[in-house]
Amino acid sequence: MRVPIRLGLELNKLLVMKIALHWQILIGMVLGILFGILMSGGEWTKQIVQDWVAPFGKIFVSLLKMIAIPLILVSLVKGVADLQDISKFSKIGGRTIIIYIMTTLIAIVIGLTLVNLINPGGGISQETIDVLTEKYANSSGVTKKIETAAKDSGPLQFLVDIVPSNIFQSMSNNKMMLQVIFFAILFGIGLLLIDPKKAAPVKALFDGLNDVVLKIVDLIMLIAPFAVFALLANVIVTTNDPALLLSLLWYAGTVVLGLVLMVVVYLIVISLYVKRNPFSFLAQISPAQLLAFSTSSSAATLPVTMERVTEHVGVDKEVSSFVLPVGATINMDGTSLYQAVAAVFIATALNHDLTFGDQLTIVLTALLASIGSAAVPGAGMVMLVIVLESVGFPADKLAIGLALIFAVDRPLDMCRTVINVTGDATVATVVGKSVGKLGDPQVQNWDDHYKK
């Protein structure tokens, strides 16, 4: 019996190895969507998916989140310590922040331009508004978004939140990733400034930890195709009202069009500045994009994004270990674009006039909100409350405004997370090119990496 079993395992391994990772994930996504549609026919079939399929997707996301903080801490400390010169750090850090701000501003401007041209809010009937309000305005999800946003105080609160009072507490919560980044950078700078002989054992420890963490990422990625199958199947069966989704088609279409245009901007930058084939670049980071779509979390996708950008795009670890963790927390191009569209859409649909000054306020507020936003699912809705309040949107209509877009928030969250991750990878590549740290990929494809 052992021979046939062993032959079967080897055949299965060969079949998997012949298919590139992004195709494996894409096949898992398609099968997951089809399976979800097939199981949406009855309540008992939906329950089967939620009870017996969805947990595997949740386990996968938990694994990625589990390794995200260790990866950020280890790779950032190692990356900063390896610079050997504090001026290199300031050079990389300064360019990273400037480019991130530029891409976010471009995303917001694209969103505002499209929503003013298409005007999707003008096509929403009062009957649809009433239905959406009745269905969602008093839901716990809408209420929680408003309450969470209300906790923020002051325009510079995000600066206060960056500095941890207890680093161990910060490392226990993925929403406090900026605090972990702050500590890791400070720790790395400390290593740079002490006697190299005393720093050597600590650097050797972090070198070893970095190798271990990356190997864990490799192991987690082995189940990625099966996990996205489970995640997408669960998304399909938990979509409660397709009719409401259709009623918001113009709004959703405006957001998606803006996100597509943002990808075009990235590809133009890759082509003109980096001097690389933009479509090859997309192929190299596609597993990270597909996982971003499935998980709706930049933080959960970060381990894969770092692996793809470093080993497949060819960005030096000195750059990627700093740029990508920072980008996962402060660079929210897709989310910022969505907020611009959503804010104007809600204001138009509920007859709240916005002046040109109000729209400039949206640009500034969306930019600041994106810096302080957590890289987790649903954070965009919380940021939207802050943006709406900044333009004087009536507090008593906030619940109705969120209710208008609540029905389509989940699929749009998946789409905008793809743009967030793509933007991070693009900026890392641009920064790598600008400081001479962009070389040939160390690994040409996942199969070669897996065989190692």
Contacts of 239 (CB under 8 A, 6+ apart): 40, 245, 410
Mean pLDDT of the chain: 82
Decide if pLDDT at 17 tops 70. no
- Mean pLDDT of the region 283-305: 90
| Average pLDDT score over residue span 296-317 | 89
Pick from 4-13, 20-29, 34-43, 177-186: least confident? 4-13
- Residue 219 pLDDT more than 60? yes
Q: Give 68-91 pLDDT, tens digit per residue.
A: 888 888 888 887 887 766 777 778
pLDDT (tens digit per residue) in 25-35? 889 888 998 99
The single-letter code of the amino acid at 173 is N
* Residues constituting the chain: 452
Per-residue pLDDT band for 446 (boundaries 50, 70, 90) equals very low
pLDDT greater than 60 at residue 434: yes
Most confidently predicted of 168-177, 270-279, 331-340, 341-350? 270-279
* Cβ atoms of residues 190 and 170 within 8 Å: no
DSSP code at position 165: S
CA distance 430 to 411: 29
The answer to whether 178 touches 299, Cβ cutoff 8 Å, is no
Tell the burial category of 83 from Cβ atoms under 10 Å away from its Cβ (0-12, 13-18, 19+): buried
Share of the chain above pLDDT 70, in %: 83
pTM score, two decimals? 0.82
Q: What are the chain's domains?
A: 21-444 (1.10.3860.10)
152-166, 252-266, 285-299, range with the lowest pLDDT? 152-166
| Residue 203: strand, helix, or coil | helix
Residue indicated by tokens 């050079």: 91
Mean pLDDT is highest, among 17-26, 137-146, 235-244, 391-400, for 391-400
pLDDT score at 14: 45
Band of pLDDT at residue 22, cut at 50, 70 and 90: confident
In the chain, % of residues over pLDDT 90: 31
Select the more confidently predicted residue: 329 or 138: 329
Nearest one of 279, 287, 323 to 428, comparing CA atoms: 323
Q: What is the mean pLDDT of residues 323-335?
A: 87
What secondary structure letter does DSSP report for 440? Answer: S
**Amino acid of residue 227:** A
Measured distance between the N- and C-terminal CA atoms of the chain, rounded to whole angstroms: 30
Question: Is 177 strand, coil or helix?
Answer: helix
Lowest mean pLDDT among 236-240, 263-267, 342-346, 372-376: 372-376
DSSP letters, 396-439, are GGHHHHHHHHHHHHHHHHHHHHHHHHHHHHHHHHHHHHHTT-B-
How far is it, in rounded angstroms, from Cα 242 to Cα 227?
A: 24
User: Could you give the maximum distance between any two Cα atoms of the chain, in Å?
Assistant: 76
Q: For residues 383 and 404, what is the distance between their CA atoms, to the nearest angstrom? A: 16
**130-156 tens-digit pLDDT:** 776 776 666 666 666 665 655 555 556
pLDDT mean over 97-123: 91
What is the rounded distance in angstroms from the CA atom of residue 310 to the CA atom of residue 313? 6
pLDDT at residue 210, as a whole number: 85
